[in-house]
Structure 1
Amino acid sequence: MNSSNDSGRIRSLDVIRGIAVMGIFSVNVVAFAMIDSAYFNPSAYGGASGASLFVWVANMLVIDGKMRSLFSMLFGASALLVIEKAEAAGLNGRAVHLRRMAVLLGFGLVHYYLIWFGDILTLYAVSGLVAFLFRRRPSYKLVILGSLFIAANMAFFAMFLAGQYQAELAAHAPHASRHALEVWNDGMGSLEPSASDIARDRALHLGSWTGFAAHNLARWGSVIGNTVIFIPETIGLMLIGMAAYRSGFLTGAWSDVQYRRAVGWGIGVGVVGSGAVAVADLVSGFDPIVLVGALVVVATPLITLQALGYAALIILLSRRGGAWWDRVAAAGRAAFSNYLGTSILASLIFYGWGLGLYGSVERWQAWLLAPLFWLVMLAWSKPWLERYRYGPLEWLWRSLSRGHLQPMRKPSAPRVAREGTA
C-alpha cells in the first residue's frame, strides 16, 4: 500500500481511521439503545446471557476501548500532520490548531447536549490543546510522556475506586444509613440501576426532543465532569499517536517484519489481557468496582498495545490496496461525518422523536444495527469523495476554522477532444 496518494493524504491513516470509526459504533450502539449503565454492566439491562452475553464478551475481547484508543492516537497523528502542513505553507501552526480545536469544541457541545451523551469531540478538543504543547518533542519522549499521562489517569481512577469500594461496603452493611446509600448510588452504584431509574431513563429518551435537550442543558456541568476524568488518558494516547506518526509506524514506513512483530505482541498481549478482564467481570457477578477497575485501570496499557497491534495489522493487510480498502479509506477520510452521522441516525432509530426503539431490544439485537451502519459508511463515503474534496462535516469544520467557505466540489476532469475535431 502506498503511504500517500495524489492528493497528498497519507493513505494508511485514512484506512486505519476508517476501521476505527466503524468499530467504535459497534460498542456505542448499546449506549444508544438502552440505559447508559448497560454499556459497562450487561446485567444492568439488555441481557447478560445467551447471545447478548456472547456479544458483550466479543466486544470486550476485540473492540471495547481498543478502537477508541486507536481513534485517539490517530487524532494526535492527524493534528500533528495538519500543524506541519500549515507551517510548511507559511501559516501559523499554533493559530491553525487553536481554531480547529475551538470549532471542534463547538461541535462537541452541540453533539453532547442535543444528540447524545457519549460525545468524544469535546474531550478531543480540550485534550488536543494540551497535546499541542508537546508537538516538538522527539518520538521517544512523546512515548514516555504519553505513558506518564496514561499512568496518571490509571492512578486517579484507582484512588477513586478505592473510595468507592469503601462506599460499597458501607452501603451494603446491615442497617446502612441513608447517606451511605446515597453516596453509593450516586457513584458506582449507578451501574446497578433500579427499576425506577430505568423507567425514568426510558421516559426521557422516549419523550420529545425538546424535553431531552432541556434535560441535558439543565445538567450542563456533567459535560465538564465527563470530560475532565478522561483528559490525561486521551492526551497520552494523542502523544503516542504523534510518536507513531513521526516514527513512520502509522504511515506504513516500517517493514513487514516489524509490523508482524507488532501484530503478534500487541494483539496477543491485548487479547489475553481482555480475556482476563472478561473472566474477572463474570466471576465477580458484574460487580461495579470490578467492571470499571478491570477495564479502566488494569487493562488500559494492554488496550493501548492491542490498538497499536490493530494498526500494524491493518497496514499489513491493506498494503496491496484494492476496492475494499479504497472504500475503507474513504470512510476514514469522512470519519467526522460518519461519527456524527451515526449519532444522528441512531438517535432517530432509538429515541422518541424517531422510531422509539429505546429500551425495547436486547444487546445482541441492538448490535445487529452495527453491520448495517458499516455498510452505509462504506457505501456513501467513496462516491461522495470522488465528487467532493471533503466529507460534508469535514468541509464545515474546515470552513469554520478558516473563517471562510472552502472549495467543496472537485474540478471537473478536462474533456478529451474527439478525433477529427479541432
Structure 2
Amino acid sequence: MTQTDRHLSLDAIRGFAVMGILLLNIIGFSMPDAGYVNPAAWGGTDPVNAGVWAINFTLFDGKMRGLFSVLFGASMLLVMQRAEAAGQNARSVHLNRMAWLFVIGAAHFILLWWGDILVPYAICGTLALFFVDKDVKQLLRWAAIFYLLYFLLTLVMVGGGWWQAIQAAEPGANPAMVRGTQEMLASFGKPGTKDIAESLDVYRSGWLTIVQHHLALFPDSLVSTLFFFTLDTLGMMLLGMAMLKSGFILGLWAPAIYAKIATRAFLIGLPPMIALAVWVIMSGFDTVITFGAFFSFSFPFRIVLTVGWAAALLLLIVKHRENPMITRVAAAGRAAFSNYLGTSLAMTFVFYGWGLGLFGQIDRATAMLFVFAAWGIMLAWSRPWLQRHRFGPAEWLWRSLARRKLQPMRLR
C-alpha cells in the first residue's frame, strides 16, 4: 500500500497512540508488574514519582490503548473494503490476518514481553467480524453494551475484593480467609509481596528462564484476556468502526466540530480523573482503592477521554497536515506494528537480565527518559525507511504470512 492509498489522519493518530502507549508500558518493562497498577508496590511514591503516576493515570492510562483499539477497528474495515474491491473474500482475508496476528502475539508474549496486546487484538478482531455490517448507530449501541458489561464486571470484582478485605480485617477472622485475602491483595499489586520478589528474580535472569516463565503464564493470560479484556477492547474496536463509517476518524468533519468534541470530552472526563488520582494519593496508595480506581472507577471517563484525544489529535492533524512533525508521526503510525514490537525488543534488552539488566533499578520518573529516547528513535527511522520501502519490517512479515506469499518490499 503506497502513501497515496492511505489516510494521513489514521496514520498520524496511530503514531501518537503507539508513542503514548509506551508511557504506560515502560513501567511493565522496567519494574515488577505490580508497579504498573500501584506505585507503592514499585516505582516510588515521593512527590516527583507520584506526580508522574498522577499525570499518566489522568491523561494517558487506558486512553492511548483505547485510541490504538479504535484505530484497529477502523483499519480492519478498510482492509476488508480493499479486499472486497480486489475481488477477494473479505472475511477470509480478515480471519487469516487475525490468525497470524495471534501467532505473532503469542511469540511476542513468550519470547519477549508478558504485556502483549496482539493476542487480545486477534481475539477481539475475530469477534468484531460479527459487527462489520452494522450501521453507525448500531455499532455505537453495541459498543455501549460492551462498555457497560465491562464496567459491571469490574465493579463486582473490586466490590468483592473490598468486602473480603473488610471481613479479613475483623477480629477473629477465619485464618483461611486471611490467607486468601493476602493472596487477593498480592494479585492487586500489594507492596512487599513474594510475587514482587519472584518477578525481580525472574527478569534479572537469563532469556531461557524468562521464556519458561512466560510459557507457564500464557494459558492463564489467555483465559484472563477472554474473561476480562475482551469486552473493553471489543467495545473500542466497534467505536472505531463507527468513527470510520461516519467519517470522523478520517478527518472529514469540520475543525470546529472536532474542537467542540475535544473541549467537552476533556471538561467531562478530566475532573473525575483528577479526583480519583487525588483519592488514591490521599489513601496512601491503598491496594484496593488504587486497584479500583485503575480498573473500574476510571473506566467511564477513559472512554470519554479516548474520544477527546481522538478529536483533539484530529483537529491538530487537519490544521497542520503539512507540518514535518505530523508527517514524521504519521510515518511512525504507518510502521506502528514494527515500532510496537521493536520497542519490546529494545526495552527488554535494556531492562532484562539477558541484556543490560536494569530491571527494578530505576524509578517511575527516570523511566520516562527511556520513553523520550524511544520516541526519538521512532520518529527518526520510520519516515526514511518508508520513503524507500512499502512497509515496516513487521508489517511486511504479517502481510506476507497472511497472504502466503512474500510481498514486494522496496519502492521502485
Structure 2 length as normaliser, TM-score? Answer: 0.96
- The amino acid across from 1:227 in the alignment is T
Using the TM superposition, name which of 239-248 and 224-233 deviates more: 224-233
- Report the equivalent of 1:141: 138
Using the TM superposition, name which of 176-185 and 8-17 deviates more: 176-185
Using the TM superposition, name which of 277-286 and 152-161 deviates more: 277-286
1:348 equivalent to 2:349? Answer: yes
- Report the equivalent of 2:317: 318
Of all paired residues, the percent bearing the same amino acid is: 41
Using the TM superposition, name which of 275-284 and 379-388 deviates more: 275-284
Residues 6/388 of structure 1: CA separation in 2 closer, same or farther (3 Å cut) = closer
RMSD: 1.5
Residues in 2 aligned to 1:198 and 1:129: alpha-carbon distance in whole angstroms? 35
The answer (yes or no) to whether the contact 2:186–2:195 under 8 Å persists in 1 is no
- Report the equivalent of 1:258: 257
Task: Provide, for residues 116-165 of structure 1, a one-character-per-residue CA deviation record: whole Å limited to 9, x for no partner.
Answer: 11111110000111111001111011011001101101111111222212
**Structural mapping, 1:129-168, within 5 Å:** 129-168=126-165
Residues in 1 aligned to 2:10 and 2:153: alpha-carbon distance in whole angstroms? 31
- The amino acid across from 2:43 in the alignment is G
Task: Provide, for residues 147-188 of structure 1, a one-character-per-residue CA deviation record: whole Å limited to 9, x for no partner.
Answer: 110110111111122221222123333354442233223334
The answer (yes or no) to whether the contact 1:277–1:295 under 8 Å persists in 2 is no
Residues in 1 aligned to 2:344 and 2:182: alpha-carbon distance in whole angstroms? 28
Using the TM superposition, name which of 281-290 and 257-266 deviates more: 281-290
Task: Provide, for residues 48-79 of structure 1, a one-character-per-residue CA deviation record: whole Å limited to 9, x for no partner.
Answer: 11211111011112111110111111100010
Deviation at 1:285, TM superposition (A): 2.2
Residues in 1 aligned to 2:87 and 2:63: alpha-carbon distance in whole angstroms? 37
Give the structure with the higher percent helix.
Answer: 2
Residues in 1 aligned to 2:87 and 2:54: alpha-carbon distance in whole angstroms? 50
Please tell me whether Structure 1 or Structure 2 has the larger radius of gyration of its CA atoms: 1
The answer (yes or no) to whether the contact 1:73–1:241 under 8 Å persists in 2 is yes
Task: Count the aligned residue pairs.
Answer: 408
- Secondary structure in 2 aligned to 1:182? helix
- Secondary structure in 2 aligned to 1:368? helix
Residues in 2 aligned to 1:195 and 1:43: alpha-carbon distance in whole angstroms? 12
Residues 369/137 of structure 1: CA separation in 2 closer, same or farther (3 Å cut) = same
Residues in 1 aligned to 2:216 and 2:66: alpha-carbon distance in whole angstroms? 30
- Report the equivalent of 1:192: 190
The answer (yes or no) to whether the contact 1:112–1:223 under 8 Å persists in 2 is no
- Secondary structure in 1 aligned to 2:338? helix
- Secondary structure in 1 aligned to 2:80? helix
Residues in 1 aligned to 2:272 and 2:28: alpha-carbon distance in whole angstroms? 24
Residues in 1 aligned to 2:350 and 2:148: alpha-carbon distance in whole angstroms? 38
Structure 1 length as normaliser, TM-score? Answer: 0.93
Residues in 2 aligned to 1:16 and 1:205: alpha-carbon distance in whole angstroms? 33
- Report the equivalent of 2:278: 279
The answer (yes or no) to whether the contact 2:186–2:193 under 8 Å persists in 1 is no
- Out of 119, 124, 148, the residue aligned to residue 121 of structure 2 is 124
Deviation at 1:195, TM superposition (A): 5.2
Name structure 1 gaps, 5 residues minimum: 412-422
The answer (yes or no) to whether the contact 1:77–1:245 under 8 Å persists in 2 is yes
- Report the equivalent of 2:384: 383
